[in-house]
Chains A and B, each alone.
Chain A
């Protein structure tokens, strides 16, 4: 059972625990430092924390099960760029072969002990087979010619933010790229294919609107018990797939289909949560009222959940990794750009404010 919540923020990593008076901040780590993402590995109890020191670069720390001390381990590192190689992104800008953000951290399959995946900016996917002691760039994807079509969306450069290791076969992995669509391998990373067909933007020239390579999925999740079903919160709306992420169809939602985070119930692919905002350059809750939307019928209808959430002058943005669902599919947690953290014990029907004083929240994860 998951008893902790790891909250990654601009000024440290905070561990939330549940006591007799409800959830509270129990421990803090890396205070003052920029913790962009954390991962708990249920296979061996290890915690991982990704830091961005800005001037000193991207670092990764690990804490073994039951230990208090964090140890810095290797950070995913890009190989030496071949002399004279012209490597441009979709904007036509030179790609800098250096890790600029760890934007996704996921465990490998249940039987692949020690395997960790990392998605980074400017678009490199890395795999470790030794709990992060060393990392290998997934060259097959990095050297795919279509990678040069990838481009930055809200950020200046492209990045991989979602990694779904298939529960049926850990050699099948799908990653989502902002902006570069969805890519899948079915042979452990030897070959990759674009997998964002059907996603589209809501305006622009037709060739661009429907091109899979330019799609901007903000976050992608896979249903654990029905793994052919996927959901994506995309820049231009919500998309779902019922065919192993091979094709996608749009889903309409109110008060908005714009957002960043998405969570799917582990046992019910039709029950999904989102946090809507005004599209797309504004990115604030509609009418200053923060709500979570939930569908229980695969996107035919949505209910706005607002009990316990601020309904006036609320300008909280929930980033893509900052909405989390526990492994039972009952408890939700989310953290905002203004340092609020809420927990719901009843699938979002009502929310309790845990703290309103944290730094900007980047990611929330059950552990």
Chain B
């Protein structure tokens, strides 16, 4: 079992509590997070299903390398954080 977390900045727009997932690759974890929340997907991924510009995903503190198909490995007990840089001005 791994765990997916979202930032409070994202929770301002979409209800997205941390959740437990069964996954060996990141895309499986994300699919489970988005399955219950289609709107959340549109905040994290762009129209092509790729990670949005300014978004970042960390698995156990390491930034992922596959920003399009999310094939990065997930282990039991992994902590996955979906984060963002805040663009403003």
Contacts and interface: CB of A to CB of B under 8 A. Distances in A.
Contacts of A99: 47
A240 to B, nearest CB: 37
A352 interface: no
Nearest to B42: A57
Interface string B15-46: 00000000000000000000000010011101
Given A55-B85, A56-B10, A57-B42, A78 B54 contact: no
Contacts of A59: 13, 42
B88 interface: yes
Chain A interface mostly helix, strand, loop or mixed?
loop
B87 interface: yes
A331 interface: no
A59 B87 CA distance: 16
Contacts of B86: 54-55
A70 interface: no
A80 B48 contact: yes
B75 interface: no
Contacts of A78: 47-48
A57 B43 contact: yes
A10 B87 CA distance: 12
B48 A97 contact: yes
Contacts of B47: 77-79, 97-99
Interface residues of B, number: 21
Nearest to B49: A80
Contact of B55 (A55, A75, A97, A98): A55
Contact of B46 (A53, A54, A57): A57
Interface residues of A, number: 18
A139 interface: no
A14 B27 CA distance: 40
A56 B55 CA distance: 8
A55 B48 contact: no
A81 interface: yes
A186 interface: no
Interface in A55-71: 55-57, 59
B53 interface: yes
A339 to B, nearest CB: 14
Nearest to B55: A55
Contact of B52 (A57, A75, A80, A97): A57
A81 B52 contact: no
Interface string A276-303: 0000000000000000000000000000
A226 interface: no
Contacts of A53: 13, 43
A72 interface: yes
A55 B87 contact: yes
Nearest to B88: A54
A99 B13 CA distance: 19
B56 to A, nearest CB: 10
Interface in A249-306: none
A98 B13 contact: no
Contact of A55 (B42, B50, B84): B84
A72 B39 contact: yes
A136 to B, nearest CB: 14
B21 to A, nearest CB: 21
Contacts of B84: 55-56
Contacts of A81: 48
Contacts of B39: 72
Contacts of B88: 54
A80 B89 CA distance: 31
5 contacts: A53-B43, A55-B54, A56-B43, A57-B42, A78-B48
Interface of A: 10, 53-57, 59, 72, 75, 77-81, 96-99
Given A56-B52, A57-B42, A96-B46, 4 more contacts: A59-B13, A59-B42, A75-B42, A98-B48
The 7 closest A-B pairs by CB, nearest first: A54-B87, A55-B54, A98-B47, A98-B46, A78-B47, A55-B84, A56-B43
